[in-house]
Amino acid sequence: MKHILSVLVNDTPGVVTRVSALFSKRNYNIKSFVGCETHIPGTSTLIIVVYGDDEIIEQITKQLRKLIDVIEVSDITQKKHVSRELVLIRVKADTKVRSEIIQIVDIFRANIVDFQNSSLMIEATGDEDKIDALVEALKSFEILEIVKTGEISMVRKNV
């Protein structure tokens, strides 16, 4: 089962290494790992997406809470949340296929962010299914490069 862990940490050197080492010691593969500053000075949020059974994720969550610089750990998988990924895709696009690619970009509400003589760079944000569908739609053209951010998530709540 897919789990999304939101980990609030002090923004100190080595914290990412200690968190990722915890997963490594348990031979647990991380699907995506995104870290970013928060609105609270001196803190960062790590969004970690992993696949595993509930028991192992609970053990990892407990171990995370014991780490120095970890302030809060939350498995938001079952909570109402919004998740997004960002992807950049470079596609070979000569003049013969350029209009077809632009139509696909419009359908997925993506953007062309770089235009070269023989290629286009496309930017898209959305959930994993949307990003996967866009990549699939562009496979009939020659995809030259793909870079994805990994998933970021935030719990929905009234404040």
Report d(CA 98, CA 69) in Å as an integer. Answer: 49
Q: Which of 147, 151, 144 is nearest to 119 (CA)?
A: 144
Any idea what the CATH number is for the domain that residue 102 is in?
Answer: 3.30.70.1150
Residues 60 and 125 in one domain: no
Over pLDDT 90: what percentage of the chain? 86
Residues 63 and 125 in one domain: no
**Could you read off the pLDDT of 82-112 as tens digits, one per residue?**
999 999 999 999 999 999 999 999 999 999 9
Residues 55 and 99 in one domain: no
Report d(CA 122, CA 150) in Å as an integer. Answer: 17
Domain count, the chain: 2
Residues 89 and 42 in one domain: no
The whole domain housing 110 covers 83-155
**Could you read off the pLDDT of 6-64 as tens digits, one per residue?**
999 999 999 999 999 988 888 888 999 999 999 999 999 999 999 888 888 898 999 99
Task: Say if residue 4 is exposed, middle or buried (CB neighbours under 10 Å; 0-12, 13-18, 19+).
Answer: buried
Residues 105 and 68 in one domain: no
Identify the domain boundary among 75, 92, 126.
Answer: 75
**Could you read off the pLDDT of 111-143 as tens digits, one per residue?**
999 999 999 999 999 999 999 999 999 999 999
- Report the predicted TM-score, pTM, of the whole model to 2 decimal places: 0.86
Any idea what the CATH number is for the domain that residue 64 is in?
Answer: 3.30.70.260
Residues 60 and 122 in one domain: no
Residues 94 and 125 in one domain: yes
**Could you read off the pLDDT of 10-26 as tens digits, one per residue?**
999 999 999 999 888 88
